[in-house]
Amino acid sequence: RAQGNHQAEAEHCRAMLSHMRAIGHRYYEAVALNNLSLACSALGQYGPAIDASEQALDIFRQINHQHGQVISLLNLSSRYKTTGQLDKARGALTEGLPLARELSLADDEARMLSSLAELLTNSGQYDAAGQALERAEEIARVLGSVYLLATIHNRAGELALATGTHDRAVELFEQSL
């Protein structure tokens, strides 16, 4: 059933995209592309998902819409990570973080830091991963975001496992529940 919903969503996004291209509305064209990326990703169609996010990012750059760029870069980092393109994922996050900070997009900054920490942990850069998670947790606490805190604690648990502090890992995983 969910598959059918995602398929219907993808078709709706394609229709919206076609309409926005026909009327020349670049902003909503990029929004439709980002939404299409999410729908394709939910269907496991990662090639089209990446293509749609890359097109959205290009448009947001052309029209100088920085918030759209941050969202597109966050989407791209997730798709790249899912497909094993870890250097590209890290590049997208590295590009997006200064924009998120400049625009005071705290939620996006925390999500990017958390994702970056996961990549850093997996590449053995434990100190940098810990620093990213500390900053992400500070932001999440200020925002009062239980969801972000759960994600951050889960990633901190993965870092603790990687560094061999198993008791701390269990504590952090429990906090993420």
Q: Express each pLDDT in 111-143 by its tens digit.
A: 999 999 999 999 999 999 999 999 999 999 999
Q: Express each pLDDT in 151-162 by its tens digit.
A: 999 999 999 999
Handedness of CA 48, 49, 52, 57 (dihedral sign): negative
Class of residue 45 by CB neighbours under 10 A (exposed 0-12, middle 13-18, buried 19+): middle
Rounded CA-CA distance 70/58 in Å is: 12
Single-letter residue type at 39: A
What does the pLDDT average to over 27-47?
Answer: 96
Q: Express each pLDDT in 67-125 by its tens digit.
A: 999 999 999 999 999 999 999 999 999 999 999 999 999 999 999 999 999 999 999 99
pLDDT of amino acid 2: 61
